[in-house]
Every structure is written in C-alpha cells, then in structure tokens.
Amino acid sequence: MTDHSRSTPEADLAFLRSVIEGGMSGRGMLTMGVAYMAGGILYGLQCLFHIAQMKGWVVLAPLPTLLVLIGFTAAFCLVLGWAVREDRKLKVSQGPLATRTMNAAFSATGMVNLAVILIFGVGSARDHDFATWLYYPAIVFAAQAAAWYVAWSLKRRAWMLATAAGGWVTAVGLGLLVRHGDIYLYVCTAALFLLFALPGWIMVRGAMQVRTAT
C-alpha cells in the first residue's frame, strides 16, 4: 500500500524550487490583481474628478458630488466581488509557499490600512483639520511599499522592487504635500495609476495566462 503522506524527491525539489526562485504561478493572484487594478483606475479617476473640480471644469452641488464619490467605491466593490467569485468558482489553490507568504503580507497591510483609516479619520474630525486626513494616503503608500518589498524578496521581480520604491517615494512626497492640495492631487493621481493599476494589470495578466494554459 502506497503511503501518500510522504512527499517524493521530485515533489521536494519542486517545492524548494518554488521557494528559491519565487516563481509566480499565477494561481490565487486574480483577486489581488483585480483589486489593485480596479482600485488604481477607479480612485485615480476620482482624483481626476477632484482636479476637474479644483480647476472649475466640473461644478456640482454637494449631494451630486457625494453620489459620484459613492459611485466610485460601489464600482470597486462590485469588481472585487466578481473577482472573488471567479476565484471560488474555479477553486483556485493558494499556490507555493512564496505566493502564500506574499498574500499574507498584503492581507496584513490591509489590516494596517483599516487601523490608519480610524486613527486619521477620527483625528481629522476631532481637530476639524482636513489636512490630517490627507496623511492617511501617505501611510497607505508606505505600507504598500513594505508589502511590495516583501513580495520582491520572495519573487525577485524587478517590477515589484520598482513598485516598492515608488510607493516609498510617494508616501514621503504626499506627507510633505498635505498643505499643497493641487500638487498633492497630481502626485496621488499618478501614483494610483502607476503603483496600483499597473501592478494590478501585471498580476491579472499573469493569472489569466496560467488559467489559459491549464
């Protein structure tokens, strides 16, 4: 009777190779990729909307403006829900250790982001200072930079290191620009497209290529 509880030498070698090389299997990456790409595009468009308001190109009353902002978030939630359902429908595995570790790093980053929202949101409301709230995106980019650095350490992909470096620079830049609303918006808009939407597209492309091949 064959003992399936013990791994074969070939399986051990494949496992070590996945850890050492950090090869991205693409499995389990669709949800994360869609979340990044959708978040970057939608919230990048939201920043463009605010720039248009700042320039006087778009003039809306408070209620329509609020509805537009809610619409961006609602669209993001719908796209994310679709991606999660796709992963569950296809029963996507979590993949090798390197991929599971990377997913854990980004999940932990999400927990940090939630805490930061509460800290800066309450502080901004209490002090009646909107600039306090603007520190929140800076912290988000800093946390994302740390997560991408972990990803690069595991996967050794140049675009991951570039994303980590870009996130760090963006975090510092936004932190220094909270009293300069116009420049702040320009930097945040560019960073959302380059550091969220673009990496998300890379992950989605990789995940779809793997699913096509299997």
User: Using one digit for the tens of pLDDT, what is the confidence trace for 155-205?
Assistant: 889 999 999 999 999 999 999 999 998 999 999 999 999 999 999 999 988
Please choose, from the candidates 131, 134, 101, the residue with its C-alpha nearest in 3D space to the C-alpha of residue 116: 134
pTM of the complete model beyond 0.75: yes
pLDDT, residue 1, reads 46
CA dist 28 and 101 (Å) reads 12
Give per-residue pLDDT as tens, 76-121.
Answer: 889 888 877 776 765 555 555 555 665 666 666 667 767 777 787 7
Please choose, from the candidates 211, 109, 195, the residue with its C-alpha nearest in 3D space to the C-alpha of residue 159: 195
* Pair 161, 152: CB distance under 8 Å: yes
Please choose, from the candidates 179, 119, 178, 122, the residue with its C-alpha nearest in 3D space to the C-alpha of residue 143: 119
Please choose, from the candidates 167, 40, 30, the residue with its C-alpha nearest in 3D space to the C-alpha of residue 99: 30
From residue 22, alpha-carbon distances to 10, 26, 94, 156 in Å are 18, 12, 14, 7
Give per-residue pLDDT as tens, 3-40.
Answer: 544 555 555 444 444 443 444 445 557 788 888 999 99
